[in-house]
Structure 1
Amino acid sequence: MIRTDGEAPAGDGAAEAAPVRRVPRPRADALRNRERLVTAAREMFVEFGCAVPYDEIARRAGVGNATLYRNFPERPELVHEVVLSILARLTERAERAAAEEADTFAAVSRFVHAAADERVGALCPMLDGTFDKDHPDLVVESERLEEAVEGLVRRAQTAGRLRADIGVGDLMVGVSQLTRPLPGTGCEDFAPFVHRHLQLFLDGLEAPARSTLPGAAATLEDLRRDA
């Protein structure tokens, strides 16, 4: 039948829009369980290494083994999430230090001690041969952290508060090495000395410099080449 009133017959023209499928959002308790698992894993990786049994992580988090395996079926997935969490927390610490400290060197110092509280050095062994350091999520978060720390260093050097002959790589090497437990010592035994030794390190970074450093300032690119 031909319509003469200008109204298109039903079904003519563009196809009817298909119903939109709504992806259910994770429940709040499921998100909390996942956060508890990542926190527990981070703590236990520091204390016992990445090979800590899965059931011990679940017990520390206060959830069942099934919940842990449902969120992280494979250990590399859990390690990935822990590292992602640490990078994000460090970036937040760096950004807050920059925003809240009027003294640019105090901002650098605050970030360094905050990184020690995150146990950065103790967690470095997680980055082993089976870990995908080039995963897109980690690359993005690493770049955010690098930008934040580079900003701290650049501002302190521009203000004449941080010696000019060091680079971000020097800062990060110092932090990672001084927060890594010595062989044969536990993290808890080593912890009381960390902030003390970091302050000695920071005193050596403050301008005016009291010595001439051998070699050239280390950049983050230098560290990536040596990795």
Structure 2
Amino acid sequence: MQTAAPAPRKATRPRADALRNRERIVTAARELFVELGPDVPLDDIARRAGVGNATVYRNFPDRDALVRDVVCSVMDRTAEAARQALAETGDAFGALERFVHAAADERLSALCPMVASTFDENHPDLVAVRERTEQLVEEVMQRARRAGQLRDDVGFGDLLLAVAQLSRPPAGTGCLSADRFIHRHLQLFLDGLRAPARSVLPGAAVTLEDMRKA
């Protein structure tokens, strides 16, 4: 008599409370990385998240995994801000402005250095979210160009580098004290992006390829 093969096991979905704990850990890590830098103790992250140390290590086997998840989360939120800008009707440059201010609030400048110094920047998760974000931001810019509102000599890299440089000093250097200046300075920069251009920019526009090589 032939024995029936065992039924395949169904993949179990994480419980809602487990997903909430993971999200709280990522949020707490993001806040502390910005405030104190990437070397903040994991115990401090657990306390900020309101979970036990074991919960942090159960979700993230090492610091690299946690940093990667934080950076991917920030880039996902940046991509979502770009999607919202694309969904807007009316003033294309106004949508670009709102995206830039939203991206600045994600504190990219404090987190992006971790990509190069902490773990593999070519990890598949990071590459996927980076490419998705780049595509959406380029679409936001292209729509403003087609409307004749964004000067033609500005590239993707010009925009993102300026947002990073103007939005925050490096993590752990009192960056939160500069909050009151950020959106003021970003608006000055955005006014310089409007077409028609009032000057000729030196050098060439910074492209996606330039940023990847850097």
1:139 to 1:110, Cα distance in 2 relative to 1, 3 A: same
Partner of 2:36: 48
Partner of 1:24: 12
In structure 1, C-alpha distance between the alignment counterparts of 2:70 and 2:90, rounded to whole Å: 32
In structure 1, C-alpha distance between the alignment counterparts of 2:10 and 2:102, rounded to whole Å: 41
Counting aligned pairs with the same residue, the percent is 63
Q: Whose helix proportion is higher, 1 or 2?
A: 2
Which residue, 67, 71, 91 being the options, matches 1:83? Answer: 71
Deviation string, structure 1 residues 49-83 (Cα, Å, up to 9, x no partner): 01111111001101111111111120000001001
Which residue, 176, 183, 188 being the options, matches 2:176? Answer: 188
In structure 1, C-alpha distance between the alignment counterparts of 2:172 and 2:52, rounded to whole Å: 33
TM-score, normalised via structure 1 length? 0.89
The alpha carbon displacement at 1:17 in A equals 5.0
The alpha carbon displacement at 1:124 in A equals 2.4
The DSSP-based 3-state class of the residue aligned with 2:179 is helix
TM-score, normalised via structure 2 length? 0.95
In structure 2, C-alpha distance between the alignment counterparts of 1:64 and 1:70, rounded to whole Å: 10
1:182 to 1:63, Cα distance in 2 relative to 1, 3 A: closer
In structure 1, C-alpha distance between the alignment counterparts of 2:109 and 2:17, rounded to whole Å: 32
1:103-182 equivalences in 2 (<5 Å): 103-181=91-169
Partner of 2:54: 66
Deviation string, structure 1 residues 86-127 (Cα, Å, up to 9, x no partner): 111100000001102421101111111001111111222312
1:83 to 1:72, Cα distance in 2 relative to 1, 3 A: same
Question: Which of the pair has the greater relative contact order for Cα pairs under 8 Å at 6+ separation?
Answer: 2
Select the structure of larger CA radius of gyration.
1
Q: How many residues align?
A: 214
In structure 2, C-alpha distance between the alignment counterparts of 1:68 and 1:130, rounded to whole Å: 18
RMSD, aligned α-carbons: 1.7
Partner of 1:214: 202
Unaligned 5+ runs, structure 1 = 1-9
In structure 2, C-alpha distance between the alignment counterparts of 1:21 and 1:182, rounded to whole Å: 47
Higher mean C-alpha deviation, range 17-26 or range 134-143: 17-26
The alpha carbon displacement at 1:182 in A equals 6.9
